[in-house]
A and B are shown apart, each in its own frame.
Chain A
Amino acid sequence: KAGVTQTPRYLIKTRGQQVTLSCSPISGHRSVSWYQQTPGQGLQFLFEYFSETQRNKGNFPGRFSGRQFSNSRSEMNVSTLELGDSALYLCASSPGGTGNVEQYFGPGTRLTVT
């Protein structure tokens, strides 16, 4: 079974621009979560989508948004980029049912804002 894929792997943007990151979950997985990882703050939860609906949301400003499509693929958008948005953005998928959940992470997208 193919793992979680994220595109692009690396991205360089200028402050003020916007960016869209893509995540394809493991086949059959319906839940997709997004995390931001920086050296200073560590791994922080952004949001989680299940069946095209945002189910959980972390403590990030409204510039960070996402969506999920009917095939469970998800996109994350960051508008009006700031230097502090430079980070590794990780996507994780899981089956989405109840009970204990193991999340499967992708390799991440390294975003650099200049």
Chain B
Amino acid sequence: LAKTTQPISMDSYEGQEVNITCSHNNIATNDYITWYQQFPSQGPRFIIQGYKTKVTNEVASLFIPADRKSSTLSLPRVSLSDTAVYYCLVGPGAGSYQLTFGKGTKLSVIP
């Protein structure tokens, strides 16, 4: 399984766009990139998943360059409720039920 590297923590003011970058140099051809969000004392929640280029949903965008060795989760106009730990996961998309979580990035949104 590809190892991921993300910043341990980030601070942002309310209303700003936040970009969290994840490095995954050893990503395999059939690997997908998935981001989860976790609030204290709760289970992680799926945010977004992608394979290449750009993926956007109602809460976030995921940017993946052509070499796929990194990816960036973009959260537009964050609010205090976005304060959480964000995990970048890399693994086989098809039939992958064993998620490998790294340390994650603790995002603190400041009023």
Residues of A within 8 A of B (CB): 4, 31, 33, 35, 42-45, 48, 50, 55-56, 58, 88, 90-92, 94, 96, 98-108, 110
Report A-chain residues with C-beta under 8 Å of the C-beta of B99.
33, 35, 43, 45, 92, 103
Contact B102 A100, beta carbon cutoff 8 Å: no
Contact of A99 among B41, B43, B94, B100 (CB under 8 A): B94
Contact A42 B103, beta carbon cutoff 8 Å: yes
Closest to A32 in B: B97
Contact B93 A4, beta carbon cutoff 8 Å: no
Scan B72-111; emit 1 where CB is below 8 A from any A CB, else 0: 0000000000000001000001111111111110000000
Report B-chain residues with C-beta under 8 Å of the C-beta of A91.
43
| Cβ contacts A to B, 13 pairs, < 8 Å | A33-B97, A33-B98, A43-B87, A45-B98, A45-B99, A48-B97, A88-B41, A99-B93, A100-B32, A101-B96, A102-B46, A103-B99, A105-B45
CB distance from B73 to the nearest CB of A (A): 16
CB distance from A71 to the nearest CB of B (A): 19
Contact A108 B41, beta carbon cutoff 8 Å: yes
Closest to A100 in B: B93
Contact B100 A107, beta carbon cutoff 8 Å: no
Report B-chain residues with C-beta under 8 Å of the C-beta of A102.
46, 49
Contact B98 A56, beta carbon cutoff 8 Å: yes
**With A42-B103, A43-B101, A103-B99 as contacts: A108 and B93 at CB distance below 8 Å:** no
CA distance A43 to B95 in the complex (A): 20
